[in-house]
């Protein structure tokens, strides 16, 4: 299970991990606001092509947070995690129970002018099916937002999840942008929340020829020159193995501990207490070396550690 971005963009991941965000917060928030305004119109148009009666979609809130916030809310909400060109969790779409009740009511010909109560129990297969159907239209709307505006969501997106399955889903930790859209009729109102990694929001979506023609220094404008010139202390380490507390307590000066098999290929590079790269130790002449293998993925490393016992 590999959830890291392409090795072609390691510097984005390094800056994100060291600083805790991607780019300047004001610029990211502005980009999220523009996305929200485009999304509300596009999603309303896409969903209303399917529903027998129209609903209204408007921007309710735009804020910055963490990817784990995508699961925040009631246990019976519905969530879909869609992959984009550069991220396996590039777009997370979450309908709250009130929005689900509105959509199901309208989908099956209910009176849109009659108030609909929020769903308090776990979602039925029919309710989850309606969300899974409409979420495809939401994803298509996110891809059809004009030149360089689409998110590049891979279609079709997975079915929506809820309850225990949703709570068990693990997100790679990182900064996010959250766009909360109101989904409403004349008398009832719910929410659709779009959560995406900040680096997906601000990534360059031009085609390859346009991107290559742009100045190579364009990326650096996202960070101040002073910040990018600052230095950090790099540390390389590798796992030594497992030992009981009893054995550990009787270690003596000068005692030699044998390294476990493949230890050299399981080293990591860290800075400021943050693990950045998975690497392997080696030797070139009289000097020891560290070869970077890939950006460090905490989720993948945890799973591999569990499998390895």
For 103-137, the pLDDT digits (tens) are 999 999 999 999 999 999 999 999 999 999 999 99
CA 110 to chain centre: 35
pLDDT at 235 over 80: yes
- Compute the mean pLDDT over every residue in the chain, rounded to the nearest whole number: 81
pLDDT digits (tens, 9 = 90+) for 170-180: 887 788 999 99
Instruction: Return the pLDDT at 303.
Output: 46
Boundary (domain end) residue, out of 211, 243, 264: 211
Indicate whether 203 and 258 sit together in one domain.
no
**Which of residues 248 and 303 earns the better pLDDT score?**
248
Tokens of 236: 């390389």
Lowest mean pLDDT across 24-28, 30-34, 187-191: 24-28
Taking residues 142-160, report their average pLDDT: 79
pLDDT band at 15 (very low <50, low <70, confident <90, very high): low
pLDDT digits (tens, 9 = 90+) for 42-54: 999 999 999 999 9
For residue 24, being part of any structural domain is answered with: yes
Indicate whether 88 and 183 sit together in one domain.
yes
Q: Which residue from 10, 203, 174 is spatially nearest to 92, judged by alpha carbons? A: 174
Torsion of CA 16, 19, 23, 29, to 10 degrees: 100
Instruction: Name the percent of the chain lying above pLDDT 90.
Output: 39
From CA 84, how far away is CA 90, in angstroms rounded? 5
Instruction: Return the pLDDT at 306.
Output: 45
Indicate whether 46 and 108 sit together in one domain.
yes
Indicate whether 186 and 253 sit together in one domain.
no
pLDDT digits (tens, 9 = 90+) for 32-43: 999 999 999 999
From CA 69, how far away is CA 177, in angstroms rounded? 10
Lowest mean pLDDT across 6-10, 20-24, 82-86, 202-206: 6-10
pLDDT band at 238 (very low <50, low <70, confident <90, very high): confident
Domains contained in the chain, number: 2
Indicate whether 37 and 176 sit together in one domain.
yes
Q: Which residues contact 215 (CB under 8 A, 6 or more apart)?
A: none
Indicate whether 83 and 182 sit together in one domain.
yes
Indicate whether 189 and 263 sit together in one domain.
no
**Which of residues 50 and 231 earns the better pLDDT score?**
50
Is there a contact between 135 and 93 (Cβ–Cβ < 8 Å)? yes
Is there a contact between 141 and 45 (Cβ–Cβ < 8 Å)? yes
Taking residues 260-284, report their average pLDDT: 84
Instruction: Return the pLDDT at 107.
Output: 94
Is there a contact between 95 and 118 (Cβ–Cβ < 8 Å)? no
Instruction: Return the pLDDT at 155.
Output: 92
Taking residues 144-163, report their average pLDDT: 80
Instruction: Return the pLDDT at 48.
Output: 94
pLDDT at 275 over 70: yes
pLDDT at 150 over 80: no
Residue 46: give the domain boundaries.
Answer: 10-211
pLDDT at 304 over 60: no
Taking residues 218-244, report their average pLDDT: 70
Instruction: Return the pLDDT at 198.
Output: 87
Residue 284: C-alpha distances to residues 238, 267, 270, 281, 287 (Å): 18, 17, 22, 10, 5
Indicate whether 36 and 149 sit together in one domain.
yes
For residue 152, being part of any structural domain is answered with: yes
For residue 4, being part of any structural domain is answered with: no
Instruction: Return the pLDDT at 91.
Output: 94
CATH number of the domain where residue 77 is located:
3.40.1550.10
CATH number of the domain where residue 290 is located:
2.30.330.10
Taking residues 185-207, report their average pLDDT: 83
């Amino acid at each position: 299970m590999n959830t890291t971005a392409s090795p072609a963009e390691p510097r984005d991941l390094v800056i994100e991990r060291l600083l805790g965000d991607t780019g300047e917060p004001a610029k990211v928030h502005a980009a999220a606001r523009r996305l929200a305004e485009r999304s509300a119109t596009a999603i309303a148009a896409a969903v209303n092509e399917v529903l027998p009666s129209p609903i209204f979609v408007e921007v309710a809130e735009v804020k910055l947070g963490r990817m784990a916030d995508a699961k925040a809310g009631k246990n019976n909400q519905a969530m879909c995690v869609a992959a984009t060109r550069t991220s396996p969790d590039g777009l997370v779409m979450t309908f709250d129970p009130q929005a689900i009740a509105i959509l199901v009511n309208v989908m099956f010909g209910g009176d849109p002018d009659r108030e609909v109560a929020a769903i308090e129990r776990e979602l039925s297969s029919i309710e989850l099916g309606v969300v899974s159907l409409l979420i495809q239209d939401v994803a298509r709307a996110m891809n059809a937002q004009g030149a360089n505006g689409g998110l590049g969501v891979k279609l079709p997106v997975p079915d929506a999840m809820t309850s225990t399955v949703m709570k068990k889903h693990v997100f790679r930790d990182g900064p996010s942008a959250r766009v909360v859209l109101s989904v409403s009729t004349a008398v009832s109102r719910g929410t659709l929340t779009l959560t995406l990694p900040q680096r997906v929001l601000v990534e360059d979506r031009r085609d390859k020829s346009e991107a290559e023609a742009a100045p190579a220094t364009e990326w650096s404008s996202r960070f101040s020159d002073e910040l990018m010139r600052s230095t950090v202390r790099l540390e390389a380490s590798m796992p030594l193995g497992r030992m009981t507390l009893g054995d550990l307590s009787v270690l003596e000066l000068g005692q030699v501990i044998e390294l476990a098999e493949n230890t050299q290929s399981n080293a990591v590079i860290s800075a400021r207490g943050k693990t950045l790269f998975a690497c392997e130790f080696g030797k070139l002449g009289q000097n020891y070396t560290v070869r970077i293998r890939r950006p460090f993925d905490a989720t993948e490393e945890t799973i591999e550690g569990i499998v390895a016992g």
